[in-house]
Amino acid sequence: MIADLSSSPSGSGFVRTSRDGAVLTVTLDRPDQLNAQTPATWSALADVGASLDDDVRVVVVRGAGRAFSAGLDRSMFDTSSTTHGGLGELVRLPVEEAQERIRAYQAGFRWLRSSGVVSIAAVQGHAIGAGAQLALACDLRVFAEDAQLRLPEVTLGLVPDLTGTSTLVELVGYSRALELCLTGRAVSAAEARAIGLATAVVPGTELDDVVGDLTAALLAPPAGASRATAALVRSAVRNDFPTQDAAERAAQVERLHDLAGGR
């Protein structure tokens, strides 16, 4: 059964959600603006993350229309404006308050790697700036052949600040991440697949089917084993060998006890 959880674009930063069993789909729903994002978008995303229940196992993030997301809404860039959430307002805030505001924005992205869920970005067309960082925030990314990912913040005198740098380095390594961030150049779908940014690249007409197949494959193993394995893979990125080995031992013993108890 598919349940529509939120379909109010004006009240939710143009974010829609729908639920089909253990799968939650989050859709940026501003296609006439190529799903350009605002602070309301990030607040809405954070609210979705905060409302997750234990039965959700896969989160699919999409963009309505022909683009995943073209990045930050242009109205936010005017440093002379006092528009709520815009760069002009951030400039006028005390430093600590401005940083706290950005921390709240980042919360709309970080939850996509929450324990207990696996997130998939279904990317078509442009994924620029905040759009690129939203795709990077997910565990997996399926690209349509026309997808392009770009982090142009440095060319605007800014930096990526929506969790993008850490996830990019995890995916492609230090040198490649540095080059992509400092040049702001576009990465095609084919290159994204070659360097490890894209899990798969498919014709645009097949994007929904491939994401559906991947979702089904992720749901096939028992939930407990799947969640424990995902937690191990995530911790392996930063743990040293002895710490990770210990984590594997502890997780396996817990799984054995769960199996013995019929859970």
Query: CA–CA separation, 152 vs 182, rounded Å?
Result: 8
Structural tokens at position 244: 């990770």
Task: Determine how many CB atoms are found less than 10 A away from the CB of residue 256.
Answer: 10
Q: Is 206 a catalytic residue?
A: no
Contact criterion met (CB below 8 Å) for 179 and 150: no
Site of tokens 């022909």: 66
Query: Rounded to an integer, what distance in angstroms lies between the CA atom of residue 90 and that of residue 128?
Result: 21
CA 148 to chain centre: 16
Of the candidates 100, 101, 96, the one whose C-alpha atom is nearest the C-alpha of residue 86 is 101
- CA nearest to 136, candidates 183, 170, 179, 159: 170
Q: Which is it for the CA torsion 71, 165, 193, 29, positive or negative?
A: negative
Of the residues 97, 153, 170, 254, only one is catalytic, namely: 153
Euclidean distance between CA atoms 73 and 71, whole angstroms: 6
Please, what is the angle between helix 130-137 and helix 164-172, to 10°?
60
Report, as residue numbers or ranges, the catalytic residues.
153
